[in-house]
């Protein structure tokens, strides 16, 4: 079970129905702008949920969930498999975990929240012997033009290895690897890159060659994978130190 503190933030597994409902309320606020709603889906009962709370006022400031898979033969059970054709990953032989529904309270901007969350991810990966961490990293809105430099950088530096590359499944996608010919402006690219995706990339993560246009969630998202063995040793030490 994950349980530790990072500065003024406490990180722990959800243990009760009330914990899960609190996470679902935060997700509704973060994803749908609805402070009184609840965001839930059929994957919730299958997942381990993690909560980050502020010790000063007890407020839930971040949550996400893990779906553990024994290896690539279970990839069709993942949330991402609804949107991406992932048969290339069926041959992956090693424990995997899908990290999903990641959100931070829209009024909280302390970078230590994200650091605490990644510390929890490091602890989970170590505890379960995970070899591949994957999920969907989202850009806010569905207008790809505002993210052209970010997508161009993903194309030039961070595409998945061909042996694992997800193929198109969703009906509405932006094929940035095919469409974009521009050289990315690095400063603009990083300023428009979602914080969660930036962290994935700093750990050696890779992405799909297209983004799914998700009108319901008002996002563009890319499949993102991190092979644990490829994470730079210094980065691993930093992440483990947070949870240690």
CA distances from 83 to 3, 80, 208, 220 (A): 32, 6, 11, 12
What pLDDT, on a 0 to 100 scale, did the predictor assign at position 235? 87
pLDDT tier at 240 (50, 70, 90 boundaries)? confident
The reported pTM is 0.95
Say if CB 220 and CB 210 are below 8 A apart: no
Residue 58 has pLDDT above 90, yes or no: yes
d(CA 23, CA 103): 9
**Tens digits of per-residue pLDDT, 175-219?**
999 999 999 999 999 999 999 999 999 999 999 999 999 999 999
Helix 233-243 / helix 111-128 crossing angle, nearest 10 deg: 100
Q: Are strands 132-140 and 9-13 parallel, antiparallel or unpaired?
A: unpaired
> In the chain, what are the domains?
3-243 (3.40.630.30)
Work out the percent of the chain whose per-residue pLDDT is above 70.
100
Q: State the burial class of residue 45 (Cβ atoms within 10 Å of its Cβ: 0-12, 13-18, 19+).
A: exposed
Residue 243 has pLDDT above 80, yes or no: no
Two structure tokens written together for 124: 């989970």
When pLDDT is averaged across residues 10-27 and rounded to a whole number, the result is 98
Which 3 state secondary structure label does DSSP give 30?
Answer: helix
Q: Are strands 84-85 and 167-168 parallel, antiparallel or unpaired?
A: antiparallel
When pLDDT is averaged across residues 210-238 and rounded to a whole number, the result is 94
Q: Which of 114, 103, 1 has its CA nearest to residue 48? A: 1
When pLDDT is averaged across residues 165-183 and rounded to a whole number, the result is 97
d(CA 127, CA 35): 34
Q: Are strands 96-104 and 132-140 parallel, antiparallel or unpaired?
A: parallel
Mean per-residue pLDDT of the chain: 96
């Amino acid at each position: 079970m994950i349980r530790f503190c990072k500065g003024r933030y406490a990180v722990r597994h959800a243990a009760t129905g009330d914990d899960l409902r609190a996470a679902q309320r935060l997700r509704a606020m973060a994803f749908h702008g609805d402070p009184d709603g609840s965001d839930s889906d059929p994957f919730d009962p299958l997942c381990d949920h993690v909560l980050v709370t502020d010790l000063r006022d007890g407020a839930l400031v971040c949550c996400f969930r893990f779906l553990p898979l024994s290896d690539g033969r279970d990839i069709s059970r993942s949330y991402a498999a609804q949107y991406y054709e992932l048969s290339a990953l069926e041959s992956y032989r090693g424990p995997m975990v899908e990290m999903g529904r990641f959100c931070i309270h829209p009024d909280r901007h302390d970078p230590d929240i994200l650091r605490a969350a990644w510390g929890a991810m490091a602890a989970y990966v170590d505890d379960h012997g995970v070899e591949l961490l994957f999920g969907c990293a989202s850009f806010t809105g569905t207008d790809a033009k505002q993210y052209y430099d970010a997508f161009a950088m993903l194309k030039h530096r961070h595409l998945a290895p061909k042996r694992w590359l997800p193929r198109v499944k969703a009906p509405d996608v932006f094929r940035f690897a095919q469409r974009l010919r521009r050289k990315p402006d690095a400063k603009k690219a990083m300023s428009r890159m979602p914080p969660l995706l930036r962290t994935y990339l700093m750990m050696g993560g890779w992405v799909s060659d297209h983004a799914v246009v998700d009108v319901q969630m008002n996002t563009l998202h890319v499949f993102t994978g991190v092979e644990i063995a490829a994470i730079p040793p210094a980065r691993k030490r930093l992440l483990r130190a947070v949870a240690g």
